[in-house]
Amino acid sequence: MSAIPLSLTLFCALVTSSVETSKALFAPSDVFELEWVSDPRISPDGQRVVYVRNSMDVMTDAALSTLWMVNFDGSDAQPLTTGTRHDSSPRWSPDGKRLLYVAREGDEVQLFCRWMESGQTAQLTNLRHAPG
């Protein structure tokens, strides 16, 4: 007989605890506060890493991504691209002087090249269909 009240007390404690912690759980709107990294690429000299920094835009309910670069020791993180595009798939040239990447804006997907020393960027393609 004493097992029933004890189990009932434990159940009530678990339910109360669950209700209190549910306030701290991830809510659907929290996705707009997240940022995550993908596709890291180490430069040919091993000194820098370019990566894709991903996020969600609350105003357009769309995924965004920009390219960032950081020194191999984690210092001096800086954006290479900005704006409302979806920049992805960074690839170093063999000499490390240029970076090729894909940029999607709306339905249009094009290839771009960035000269790392000067920071200049050029659109390399004007394709009707996304490059593969």
Cα torsion 92, 98, 103, 109 to 10°: value is -90
Three-class SS state of 123: strand
Residue with tokens 């309910």: 61
Closest CA to 32 of 52, 60, 69: 60
Three-state SS string over 13-40 comes to HHHHHHHHHHCCCCCHHHHHHCEEEEEE
Question: Tell me: the pLDDT tens digits for 40-99?
Answer: 999 999 999 999 999 888 787 788 899 999 999 999 999 999 887 899 999 999 999 999
Q: Name the least confident of 8-12, 40-44, 80-84, 103-107.
A: 8-12
What is the pLDDT confidence band of residue 22, given thresholds at 50, 70 and 90? low
